[in-house]
Amino acid sequence: MLRNVGGVAAGVVAWFLIASVGNLVLRAEWPGYSQAEAAITFTPGMLIARLLIGAISSLCAGFVASWITNRSVLMMKLVAGLLVIILLPVITLWERFPPWYHVVFLTSLPLLTLVGAWLYPRRRNRHRSTNSA
């Protein structure tokens, strides 16, 4: 049980860490991004870049959770659901972002988390039967 709780927590933490690092990279490397972020006036390219960072974060969150929980289907679904619940307040910014952005983000969040989880191969059972008489 501790492994499952840790896996879920690690998946959620991984999402936020990767998204934060990605956002820092955008701020450092994209001229005008920091100003657009402060004013919430992103260009379409900036919005797509943010969605790509979210996609990578979701894939990695699912992979990390799956790695720790040995692909527990219930835990993978829990990570995906928690991310949606935690990030659902993005809808409060509905007027500041185009509708397609919210649709893509909120749809891809659970889907890509589950895809990332399925990318981790299930470990084989280490306790094989020795009854080969």
Q: What is the pLDDT of residues 69-125, one digit of tens each?
A: 998 999 999 999 999 999 988 777 778 889 999 999 999 999 999 999 999 987 665
Q: Is residue 133 part of a domain?
A: no
Q: Is residue 129 part of a domain?
A: no
- Whole domain around residue 110: which residue ranges? 2-117
Instruction: Give the whole-angstrom CA distance, residue 13 versus residue 22.
Output: 14
Q: Is residue 131 part of a domain?
A: no
The answer for 40, left when phi > 0, alpha when psi is -120 to 50, beta otherwise, is left
Q: What is the pLDDT of residues 7-27, one digit of tens each?
A: 999 999 999 999 999 999 999
Q: Is residue 41 part of a domain?
A: yes
What domain count does the chain have?
A: 1
Q: Is residue 130 part of a domain?
A: no
Q: Is residue 51 part of a domain?
A: yes
Q: Is residue 128 part of a domain?
A: no
pTM for the full predicted model? 0.86
Q: Is residue 125 part of a domain?
A: no
